[in-house]
Every structure is written in C-alpha cells, then in structure tokens.
Amino acid sequence: MPETLSEPDLPRPTALVLGGRTFDAGHPAVMAIINRTPDSFFSGNRHAGLGSAKEALAAAVDLGADIVDVGGVRAGAEGEVVSADEEIARVLPFLEHARGSYPELILSLDTWRSEVARAAAPLGLDLVNDTWAGHDPRLVHVAAEIGAGIVISHTGGLAPRTDPVDVSYGPDRLDVVRDVIRTLSAGAATAQAAGVDREAILVDPTLDFGKTTAHSLEVLRHTADIVALGFPVLQALSRKDFVGESLDLPAEERLEGSLAATAIAAWLGATVFRAHDVRATRRLVDMVATIRGDRAPLLAVRGVRRS
C-alpha cells in the first residue's frame, strides 16, 4: 500500500462565459437540442411545427437545460434541401418565442450560414454553433459583430451536409486527434482575430462529422488533449452513429451509450454537452462534477451526527 497519496491529476477546463453566466468544471452546461426539421436523424427531436418546438423548449428548461440550440436543417446528407430563406423562416419564430418567454436563457443557433445568423441577431443570439467548421468564412465575423460566442468545429474539410466516405487522416491512429487539435486551434485563433471574446469561444471535436466510428472513439479518448488548448470544450455526443455502431443500436436506443460517452468526456474536462435527453444528461454531468470534486453534494447528511 503506498505511503503517500496525491489528488487525481484531472484536466482543468477553461470557463465559458455567455449571457452573463459562467460555466466551468463545477457548473457544466447542458445544451438542449431543438430541431425545427421534419427529418432529424432522431425521431424524438423533430419539431417541424412551431407548437411542438415551443413545448420542447418548455420541457428542456424545466428539465435543467442551460442553453437551447435550435437548428433548421438536418446535418446529414439525407433529407430535403433547405434554402437560407427557409432556414430563417424555421428558426426565427422559435428564437423570438424563446427570447420572449425565457429572457435569461442562453440561445444558440445551429447554422453554417452567415445570413441566417445575421437575421437572428435582433433576437439577442448568445451563441452561433457553426457545425461545419467555417465553411462560410463570414459567419465568425457576424458572431463578433453581434457580440455572440461561437463554436469552432472539425469536419475533416467536408462541405455542409456531407457524410464521410473512405476517410483517412494518416497511417497512425492518432493522426485524427492531431488534425482535430490543429483545426480547432486555428479556428479559435481566427475567431479571436475576428473579435469574438476568448471566453466565448467553444471548441467542438465534432464526433461523427468527417470521421469513422474508430476516429470518433479515438478523439473522445483524447478529450483532455482538446481541453489543453485552453478553450472550453463542447462535446456533442447524443445518440450519434459512433454510439450506435459501437453497440449496434438504432438512434432510438442509444441513450445509455450516449450517457457513457458523456461521462467520459465530462471526467476528461469537457464543459458543455449538447443533448437530446436533458434530464439524464443534467444529472449525469452534475454527478461527474461532484465525483471530480468540483461540485459539492446538494445534501450531505449520511453518517453525520445530528444534534
């Protein structure tokens, strides 16, 4: 038995500041997903009707979401073609309702189009979730102009709504991790140069996008190396294909696998978690933060003498 013990050497995440709120190791953020689409890959999150989207918003807030991320276009290659005008028509009424109903809620827009983000600016957008890695180079400048944060992503150079085929980053299995780190570092530098506040820049390794399942699992294992870049890390893991292929399960049955991946990412220092299942994710990340020692238990009476 060792004579001396030391504290676990855990990654220390950089804080994220959005909308006057701070998220860090002790206060991880859950980003609820609301898709204003009829063709989302997960049938449980298709809210083509505004009424359905409003109900989903209220439920997400009640279940503990800190951020709500709304998108108007399916990410994958399947599904209908959506113009910028149609995307705007889908997301703006929702954002207007969300801002009016929950003035303090942090609102995120999942888009790769600068014109969509600019159209949403008057509604008090807090974050632009650029899932397609700067495909529109104007988008980061729009985020800076409107005072919003931005998500820097990694897609292996693929264009929006492109599914990966015959993807390779090199002969070494860690080459994908190296590419992710290089791309996120460069994207964060571009965002800072454009005028986005450093504390409002999130980096997202963007699992599944431009990656095989083996790539995504490797990158997930190296979450701590992404945290070491010095920016808060977003992990969007919920019900993704790398989970489904790992367990050979359809999207509707990937909750437990998603939560396992989330627990690993949280332990390794990720700060923000984009999720379809808000309550389960909220409880999980709070529990991991407590196990890490970054968050105190809400109740601590077991074994304590009562006077």
Which phi and psi angles does 234 have, rounded to 5°? -100, 130
Whole-angstrom distance, CA of residue 269 vs CA of residue 267: 6
Contact 112, 130 (CB under 8 A): yes
**Alpha carbon distance 234, 108 (integer Å):** 13
- Residue 264, SS3? helix
40 burial (CB, 10 Å; 0-12 / 13-18 / 19+) is buried
Contact present, 127 and 148 (Cβ < 8 Å) = yes
d(CA 245, CA 268): 23
Q: Which of 129, 146, 144 is nearest to 195 (CA)?
A: 144
Measured between alpha carbons, how far is 235 from 112 in angstroms, rounded to an integer?
Answer: 18
| 128 vs 147: CA distance, rounded Å | 10
Amino acid residing at 113: R
Q: Give whole-number Cα distances, 287 to 17, 22, 284, 293, 303, in Å.
A: 22, 19, 5, 10, 20
Residue with tokens 């299995």: 173
CA 259 to chain centre: 14
Triad 229, 231, 237: Cα angle to 5°: 95
Residues catalogued as catalytic? 240, 274
